[in-house]
Amino acid sequence: MNAIIALSLLGIFTLFTGIFNWRKAMLPIVVIGLAGVFVLNGMDYFTTPSWYADYTHMVIFDRYAVVFSAALIMITAMLFFLCKQYYQKEDNNISDIYGLILFTLVGGMLMASFSNFAMLFLGIEILSIPLYILAGTKRLEVTSNEASIKYFLMGSFSTGFLLFGMALVYGAAHTFTLDGIRQYTDAHAGDLPTIFVAGIMLMLVGMLFKVSGAPFHFWAPDVYSGAPTLITTFMATVVKTAAFAALYRLLFYTFGSAKPIWFDALWGVAALTMIIGNFSALYQHGVKRMLAYSSISNAGYLLIGVIAMNTHSANSIFYYTLVYSLASLVSFGVLMLVTQDNGGDDSYTAFKGLARNNPALAGLMTLAMLSLAGIPPLAGFFGKYYIFINAMENGYIYIVLIAVANSLVGIYYYFKVIVAMFAKDTAPTKIAVQPAYLFALVVAAALLFVLGIFPDWVSGLMN
Amino acid sequence: MNSINEIIRTIPLNYYIFLSAVLFCIGVMGVLLRRNIIIIFMCVELMLNAVNLLFTAFSAYSSDPAGQVFVFFVMVVAAAEIAVGLAILVMIYRNLKTIDIDQLSRLKW
């Protein structure tokens, strides 16, 4: 809880550094601040969560919340290392951008720790509203504008569904607290009233918009490819992690005993998301758009983790989101450099010959792609492995078969990037990379490798 | 407070549910069918206000103030959201000189 307060103050302070024009100090302040927030958040890991229930039962920092928040803070800190080089031209507003990213993180942490519907709603909105602005930060580019308005319209549209669902659930259960609603669900598990069932379904629609599950995914490719790549990275990593943390928390802590109601719907959505995401990714010409569809298909794999819902599910979802975020960070990071170097061209041909003159970048990209494809020594493999094994324990064979077939399809388009990088025909120039930028990418790639060899370092954090 | 609750309760709960469901559906159809971005904003507001009505009705019927407090959250967030949305709209108008959503179709595959 202290972490959220400290982070909000850090965000406000960052805005002030813009007023006083402390350009040089801004990045160190934010990174050191985030390190402090990370420690504050980590301290909650060892305290008993009941103490925090005193915040009028609005948020609860149990291990689930602390672990997810730690991942969100870590990924955001890495993103800040990429910020400086990416936003060189928009230097005038850089403090606003930093501040907005920090506020978005506050929303993400609330989404991982809510114990009341009001906090779920506020968390989602605190996360979304700064993102609408961030998606439009390249304000002279029409694609950025378009991404911004599309994200805004879809975001507020889905919030409407979420709220209507909340209202119906409230009408049946007469409370907004997760505990109260769980008691209500447990007590009426056999014969839930129609408005309650409709409420669950509408809330699910709202949440599925946020995690970009098919058929509510159509906004994602446009927004991901139109937004500035740094913000796309942020959406694919931090926002996706927060959305899944919220979805799983909502379903597990409140509607767990109503599983027969939402199970079939979510099963279908998971299968559809994987299939649509993967097969659309096959036909993309741009790597950025391919990664956007890949993000959709990864949401499908994560939904399998959500529907499995047993004692290991939270851990496996956390491991998968962390690993996926790291791999996305690296791949979007390299993509940003290549795109800028090629004057905005993000097609596969832009990657041709990258390995010859920029072996470090090509190596990082290869690692990320292999991890996303799920090749064994890397962490991406274990992410998928945990999710699939977890679903198999519950006996959900068919969905796992669909998922395995889909991840085989995925290998094709991830390898297309690798093949392009190691092709010999053209040799692009050497790309200038700032040390901080390279540092963040190397750390993320190293983590992918280390977490693949020692997956149990993080996979048991919630026990 | 009690008297207001009693006044609200003079109309059966189902009527409130139907009214807000209808308002919500009008909002949804508006978002999906209208092409002018400002009209779409208004339809989103309509959806949120349908929810507010529902919260208030349920709150009065269950004598639980939480629902009415929630309405304030929704109103505040809706105001913040619409402020950002109009800013985005101004940005788009400066670049494209139009606010027709069909003109925004550069991002397609």
Does B39 contact chain A (CB < 8 Å)? no
Per-residue pLDDT reduced to its tens digit, B88-103: 999 999 988 888 887 7
> What does the pLDDT read at residue B56?
93
Chain A residue numbers touching B108 (CB-CB < 8 A): 222
> What does the pLDDT read at residue A52?
53
Structure tokens at A193: 């009233």
Chain A residue numbers touching B89 (CB-CB < 8 A): 149
Q: What residue in A sits closest to B77 (Cα-Cα)? A: A125
Does A401 contact chain B (CB < 8 Å)? no
Q: Nearest Cβ partner of A167 from B37, B51, B91? A: B51
Q: A41 CB contacts (<8 Å, ≥6 apart)?
A: A3, A66, A69, A70, A73, A109
Chain A residue numbers touching B55 (CB-CB < 8 A): 167, 170
> What does the pLDDT read at residue A38?
92
Percent of chain A at pLDDT above 90?
Answer: 54
Mutate to test the interface with A, among B64, B75, B81 (most CBs of A within 10 A): B81
Using the predicted structure, report yes or no on whether residue A51 has a pLDDT greater than 60: no
Spatial separation of the C-alpha atoms in residues A401 and A397, rounded to whole Å: 6
**Domain ranges for chain A:** 2-459
Q: Nearest Cβ partner of B95 from A142, A157, A226? A: A142
Confidence of residue A341 (pLDDT cuts 50, 70, 90): confident
Q: Nearest Cβ partner of B44 from A118, A157, A168? A: A157
Confidence of residue B108 (pLDDT cuts 50, 70, 90): low
Contact B88 A140 (CB under 8 A): no
Spatial separation of the C-alpha atoms in residues A303 and A295, rounded to whole Å: 12
Average of pLDDT values for A417-427? 80
Please report how many Cα atoms fall inside a 13 Å half-sphere around the Cα of residue A457, on the Cβ side. 12
Chain B residue numbers touching A139 (CB-CB < 8 A): 91, 95
**Poorest-confidence range of A127-136, A352-361, A403-412, B22-31?**
A352-361
Using the predicted structure, report yes or no on whether residue A274 has a pLDDT greater than 70: yes
Q: What residue in A sits closest to B64 (Cα-Cα)? A: A174
Per-residue pLDDT reduced to its tens digit, B45-74: 999 999 999 999 999 998 888 999 999 999
Name the pTM for this structure: 0.94
> What does the pLDDT read at residue B106?
66
- How many structural domains comprise chain B? 1
Average of pLDDT values for A56-85? 89
Q: A46 CB contacts (<8 Å, ≥6 apart)?
A: none
Does A19 contact chain B (CB < 8 Å)? no
Percent of chain A at pLDDT above 70?
Answer: 97
State the nearest Cα–Cα gap between A147 and chain B, in angstroms: 8
Kindly report the average pLDDT of chain A as a whole number: 89
Q: Nearest Cβ partner of A164 from B44, B51, B89? A: B51
Print the domain residue range for B19: 4-107
Does A139 contact chain B (CB < 8 Å)? yes
> What does the pLDDT read at residue A45?
83
Number of Cβ pairs < 8 A linking chain A and chain B: 127
Percent of chain B at pLDDT above 70?
Answer: 94
Does A224 contact chain B (CB < 8 Å)? no
* CA A279 to each of CA A147, A295, A299, A398, A408: distance values in angstroms, whole numbers, following the listed order: 23, 12, 14, 19, 11
Average of pLDDT values for A228-239? 93
Contact A149 B88 (CB under 8 A): yes
**Poorest-confidence range of A15-19, A246-250, A251-255, A353-357?**
A353-357
Contact B95 A140 (CB under 8 A): yes
Contact B67 A170 (CB under 8 A): yes
Spatial separation of the C-alpha atoms in residues A327 and A334, rounded to whole Å: 11
Using the predicted structure, report yes or no on whether residue A49 has a pLDDT greater than 70: no
Using the predicted structure, report yes or no on whether residue B1 has a pLDDT greater than 60: no
Per-residue pLDDT reduced to its tens digit, A178-219: 989 999 999 988 788 999 999 999 999 999 999 998 888 889
Confidence of residue A69 (pLDDT cuts 50, 70, 90): very high
Using the predicted structure, report yes or no on whether residue A435 has a pLDDT greater than 80: yes
Average of pLDDT values for A32-37? 93
Does B88 contact chain A (CB < 8 Å)? yes
Q: Is the peptide bond before A215 cis (omega within 30 degrees of 0)?
A: yes
Confidence of residue A324 (pLDDT cuts 50, 70, 90): very high
Confidence of residue A42 (pLDDT cuts 50, 70, 90): confident
- Provide the CATH number for the domain around residue B101: 1.10.287.3510
Q: Nearest Cβ partner of B58 from A136, A152, A170? A: A170
> What does the pLDDT read at residue B7?
87
> What does the pLDDT read at residue B109?
46
Does A171 contact chain B (CB < 8 Å)? yes
